[in-house]
Structure 1
């Protein structure tokens, strides 16, 4: 409750982000960065990391079917 009040966003937004049901937007990242004295890119980077892990889990079989590129010796 304190965080949402201090940065001016609804408590439900914080709860949904924590549960993984809502993304960290640029607006939220800017507010969090100001509050915690770090960069908005830090928060967006966390979101990107989360998104990548989620996609890897959802598309595991599809990604495993992709053959890795190998360079031919010249």
Structure 2
């Protein structure tokens, strides 16, 4: 039997906050614990984990110091998430904007 290899192209995506939440769970940390380590307000960390707060190099650097990996990993994770989120929002807008066909 011949197998045809298809590239894996999921139609779903997760925010960097999901990765952060997974790491916090492993560390048994709360959002408040992370906020203290990052020296950011808890409200910002809550938004970060919810995928609502875009971030830049400074946050990526602190995430790498506190949670591991590299600043580049965290920046790529954020950039990919924002691109996917934007594409999804545009797709949803195009569905809403389509005129209804009457018969």
* Same fold, TM-score > 0.5, yes or no: yes
1:34 paired residue among 60, 65, 68? 65
Q: More relative contact order in 1 or in 2 (CA 8 Å, sep 6+)? A: 2
Across the aligned residues of Structure 1 and Structure 2, the Cα RMSD in angstroms comes to 2.0
TM-score when normalising by structure 2: 0.54
**Count of equivalent residues:** 63
Question: Where in structure 1 are there 5+ consecutive unaligned residues?
Answer: 63-74
Distance 2:37 2:89 in 1: 35
The whole-number CA distance in structure 2 between the counterparts of 1:14 and 1:61 is 28
In the aligned structure 2, how far is the partner of 1:40 from the partner of 1:21?
Answer: 19
Deviation at 1:19, TM superposition (A): 1.6
Q: Indicate if the aligned counterparts of 1:24 and 1:43 stay in contact, CA closer than 8 A.
A: no
1:59 is paired with a residue whose SS is: helix
Q: TM-score, normalised by structure 1?
A: 0.72
Stretches of structure 2 that go unaligned for 5 or more consecutive residues are: 1-31, 94-103
How far 1:45 sits from its partner (Å)?
0.9
